[in-house]
Amino acid sequence: MIRKDRFLLAGTIALQAISVGCDTVAIEVFSVITDKVLTAGNPAAFWEPAAIWLAVALIGAATTYLAGQLSSVVAEGFSLRCRDEVFAHAQRLPPHFYDDHTHGDLLTRLTSDVDQAEHLVASGPVQLFNTAFSLVFFAGAALMLRWELALLTFAAAPVFWLAARRLSSRIRAVARTERDTNGALVGTLDENLANMALVQAYNRQDSEWRKVHHEGAAWMRTCLDRSRLANLYGPLANVIESVAVLAVVGAGAVEIAAGRLSVGGLLAFAAYLGYLYPQVQSLGGLAVSLSSATASGERVFEVLQAKPSVADPVLERTAAPGPRTTGVVVFENVTFTYPGTGRLVLDRLNFTAFPGQLVRIAGPSGAGKSTLAKLLLRFYDPRAGRILLDGENIRLIPLHDLRDRIALVSQEPMVFDGTIRENIAYGRPTAAEDEIRHAAFTADVDGPGGFVRNLPDGYDTRIGPGGRLLSGGQRQRLSLARALLRDTPVLVLDEPTTGLDSESARRIMEPLRRLMASRTTFLITHDPWLAGQADTVLDITAQHTAQEDVVPLLTGSSGGFPTMGR
């Protein structure tokens, strides 16, 4: 990711080298002014070195500014690309990945952890080059001025590095714990805020407060541990630096007394030390901070290293796309077990569903009814067997094309913080206004029993985060309108009347039946009245392959009825 900015990085490093070189020249000019102007009492000699000093200062200021700006562009650009890449990868991960990670923890990884990881590959290396240039320039100038004193100065450098190395390994472990506890805290807060009505209704404020306090206290303890280790390096480095400076000043006094060093030379040498020691100290501090950044980088890479559960064949498929599918769905000996579990969900499932059929998927909770929708949409692939759509194995259909042929209405209505129009058009953003309104009428969003006309801005009303301005039934009708507008040959309805009263459910079914006439529709429901509307019942708890396991309620379905194994 950082390679895309290699030229900007090179420019930043070159500007930093010029800036450090200007600082080195300025110190040398200061030494000249001290010896030839101040000590010699010759004001006339002041103007030439002063002009050089001012010119060098202006160049140094300009290059420092430009280097800082380029560094910021690189750093922020990397953060944006990294976050985009992680989020794009997360969009390909299966549902169980999100079951194993709280939303709060994932938010932390996509925000603060990405920002910390940036320091590992962008800001950190830039700072490292800046420190390296400073060490080379100032150490070289000190050696040329008085090599004996310079060697005495350099003797303290290994002590700085040893202290930083001892601390950095410990900080890395503590920093990883700190990032994990921060993610746990954000996850707990996110969960509580999302369910605040339930917390209040059940008078669980105290217990939830204790839960948040517990996670916050754990995060505080790890923050204090990291702070203790990080803060230890600064004072320790200052003590080492003070000892080294005192040794140099003492040796310099002896050199001046012996006539081997001028006052200006000693002041210049002290100035070099003033620039050199902070760089040596920052080199150790950089090792400490990079240890913290590494912990965040590991958390970001954990997301990037998570594997999608299915492979998109978009690069493997060479045949030209065929005509629009009609929606014949076939499950052939489909066996499935969720990743990481040993529980067999589906075992040798066989059935065929045809356009115009309303197939009710029956079975108790947890039997695997919603699993069929996940397999059909290729959130997962079966462990054995295959699924066909109009005779083609869905493994060979690019995911984008496959999911364009299927519309899903989930049990829990999902809406976005946007307008009514935007939420309906989410299934087909290019839809015309009359198509959006037609879908709204069909799903009872608009019309005599609808609600959109009672909203302050009609279709342009924003419904708030999670659709908080709408009731549960209104959100469900909105999600139905979205699925209907999608106009796909296969429709999956997972408890589509959740949150609707019986009158609304019956009013919706009439236009739904018209739409189902040319679509293959799967219905998952516990509503007895809605279940009675099905043409065919697919009971996934049956234990053997037999025609009688499937109860045909309409004998006119085309091509026969589904059959199934266990």
Going by the DSSP 8-state scheme, the letter that residue 122 receives in this structure is I
Which candidate, 498, 504, 518, places its Cα nearest to that of 558?
518
Residues ≥6 apart with Cβ < 8 Å to 434:
none
How does pLDDT run across 433-457, given as a tens digit for each residue?
999 998 888 888 888 778 888 888 8
Which candidate, 240, 241, 270, 243, places its Cα nearest to that of 255?
270
Rounded to the nearest angstrom, the gap between the alpha carbon of residue 267 and the centroid of all alpha carbons in its chain is: 52
Mean pLDDT for 24-37 is 79
Q: In what order do the strands lie in the sheet with 392-393?
A: 344-353, 329-337, 384-389, 392-393
Instruction: Please state the three-class secondary structure of 245-273 as a single string.
Output: HHHHHHHHHHHHHCCCCCHHHHHHHHHHH
Which candidate, 60, 82, 289, places its Cα nearest to that of 172?
289
How does pLDDT run across 320-377, given as a tens digit for each residue?
444 556 889 999 999 998 887 777 888 888 889 998 888 888 877 777 788 888 899 8
Which candidate, 362, 390, 364, places its Cα nearest to that of 376?
390
Residues ≥6 apart with Cβ < 8 Å to 388:
328, 329, 330, 332, 394
Q: Where exactly are the structural domains of the chain? A: 2-305, 415-487
Mean pLDDT for 458-469 is 85
pLDDT score of 560 more than 50: no
How does pLDDT run across 377-435, given as a tens digit for each residue?
898 899 899 999 998 999 998 888 888 888 888 877 788 888 999 999 987 888 999 99
Question: What whole-number percentage of the chain has pLDDT above 70?
Answer: 78
How does pLDDT run across 266-278, given as a tens digit for each residue?
677 677 666 666 6
Residues ≥6 apart with Cβ < 8 Å to 402:
377, 378, 389, 394
485, 439 contact by CB (below 8 A): yes
CATH number of 2-305: 1.20.1560.10
pLDDT value at residue 66? 92
CA–CA distance from 43 to each of 26, 27, 47, 262 (Å)?
Answer: 19, 19, 8, 19
pTM reported for the whole predicted model: 0.70
Residues 471 and 453: their CA atoms lie apart, in Å, by 15
Topology (CATH level 3) of domain 415-487: Rossmann fold (3.40.50)
How many helices and strands in the chain, by DSSP H and E?
A: 18, 10
Q: Strand, helix or coil at 343?
A: coil
How many Cα atoms are found within 13 Å in the side-chain-facing hemisphere of 276? 28
Q: Strand, helix or coil at 392?
A: strand
| The token pair that represents 183 in the structure block | 């993610």
Q: Which amino acid is at 546?
A: A
